[in-house]
């Protein structure tokens, strides 16, 4: 059906994306990234995130046994921003922005990224996410909490130690704000949740589904822009991580473990991505149409060495992709859920891209 160039509408942001499936046949002569798997030690004496080590800001980490949270030594947002408003003829505008930035180490183990952690350890990460959201939501001027992970050097992670960041801000940032606007408009028009209705469609069609359990579904969204982008949706209509039941938290740990494992399996390397949760704002307003979800944006295209950049037409026109969401979902579904490092050699060769 989708073999010729076409545009797809992103119902979640109100934007369009160009899909060019015929371009997968073109030869590649561009730069190839070095994404070879790295054997990491359980503790790196030079890592500023490992237990007991000094951080770049001069403080020293405790010998933490599980997750560890600290205020970012070089935060992008400050809690006491003193910038003045600027408005010159409505053309030059600037406003101060306050926020709190924290770093969260997933575990004391330098070599354990999410696909290598067991479900209990990932559950501890989720429990800490919830505690952080509850704590930060109580700050009167915090209106949005963004949890995100950049995995891999090519995604901007300057340290191999598995960790994420939590940025809480006074203003709702641009991307979640766009999703919030479309969700409100959809709810006001149809009196139902946009992502609940979208999930029903995806479950009926099944073509873009990747995996699921009792509480969550992972799919390549119809409007995906990144090569193997996935959208992780709660089955139940919940708006925030702290609304999840204990059973749903266990299921969230399960699907994160499975999804990040097949990402590693896709090209048999430690698979880079940027991941983040979008939750209801913490401004004490009612958002009945907002639905908890997470985005995974991986940059690897057709092999473990070819990266997809957002450049050229995508910067000047609109997002564009070559691999259709349906083809990406088929490829992800075809992979075993056991991590590739446990496979026999003949199985590794069979699935090598």
What beta strand segments (E) does the chain contain?
6-10, 15-19, 68-71, 86-88, 92-94, 99-105, 144-151, 163-169, 209-212, 216-219, 230-234, 273-278, 293-297, 320-321
DSSP conformation letters of 289-304: T---EEEEE--B-SST
Contact of 308 with 299, CB cutoff 8 Å: yes
Token pair 């059906």 is found at: 1
Q: How far apart are CA 254 and CA 250, in angstroms?
A: 6
Active-site position among 110, 160, 161, 163: 163
**Known catalytic residue: 163?**
yes
DSSP 51: T
The span from the CA of 107 to the CA of 161, in Å, is 9
Rounded to an integer, what distance in angstroms lies between the CA atom of residue 289 and that of residue 273?
28
Q: Which two tokens stand for residue 210?
A: 């990747």
Is there a contact between 215 and 252 (Cβ–Cβ < 8 Å)?
yes
Distance, in Å, from the CA atom of 60 to the CA atom of 68, rounded to the nearest integer, reads 12
**Complete DSSP assignment for 200-255:** HHHHHH-TTEEEE-SSEEEE--TT--STT-EEEEESS---SGGG--HHHHHHHHHH
In angstroms, the CA 96 to CA 328 distance is 41
- Known catalytic residues? 163
């Amino acid at each position: 059906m989708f073999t010729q160039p076409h545009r797809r509408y992103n119902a979640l942001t109100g934007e369009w994306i160009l899909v060019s499936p015929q371009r997968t046949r073109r030869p590649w002569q561009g730069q190839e990234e070095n994404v070879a798997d790295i054997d990491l030690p359980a503790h790196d004496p030079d890592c500023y995130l490992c237990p007991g080590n000094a951080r770049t800001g001069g403080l020293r980490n405790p010998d933490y046994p599980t997750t560890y949270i600290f205020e970012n030594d070089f935060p992008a947002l400050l809690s006491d921003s003193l910038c003045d408003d600027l408005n010159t003829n409505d053309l030059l505008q600037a406003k101060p922005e306050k926020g709190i930035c924290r770093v969260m180490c997933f575990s004391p183990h330098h070599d354990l990224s999410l696909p290598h952690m067991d479900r209990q350890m990932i559950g501890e990460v989720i429990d800490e996410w919830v505690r952080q959201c509850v704590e930060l939501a109580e700050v009167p001027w915090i209106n949005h909490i963004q949890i995100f992970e950049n995995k891999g050097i090519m995604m901007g992670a300057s340290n191999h130690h598995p960790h994420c960041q939590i940025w809480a801000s006074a203003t709702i940032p641009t991307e979640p704000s766009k999703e919030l606007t479309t969700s409100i408009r959809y709810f006001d028009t149809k009196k139902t949740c946009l992502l609940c209705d979208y999930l029903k469609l995806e479950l009926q069609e099944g073509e873009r589904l990747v995996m699921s359990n009792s509480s969550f579904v992972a799919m390549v969204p119809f409007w995906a822009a990144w090569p193997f982008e996935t959208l992780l949706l709660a089955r139940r209509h919940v708006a925030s991580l702290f609304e999840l039941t204990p059973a749903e938290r266990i299921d969230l740990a399960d699907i994160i473990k499975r999804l990040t494992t097949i990402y590693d399996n896709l090209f048999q390397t430690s698979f880079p991505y940027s991941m983040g949760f979008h939750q209801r704002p913490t401004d004490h307003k009612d958002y009945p149409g907002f639905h908890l979800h997470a985005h995974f944006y991986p940059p690897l295209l057709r092999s473990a060495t070819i990266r997809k950049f957002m450049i050229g037409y995508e910067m000047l026109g609109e997002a564009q992709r070559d691999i259709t969401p349906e083809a990406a979902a088929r490829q992800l579904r075809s992979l075993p859920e056991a991590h590739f490092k446990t496979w026999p050699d003949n199985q590794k060769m069979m699935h090598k891209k």
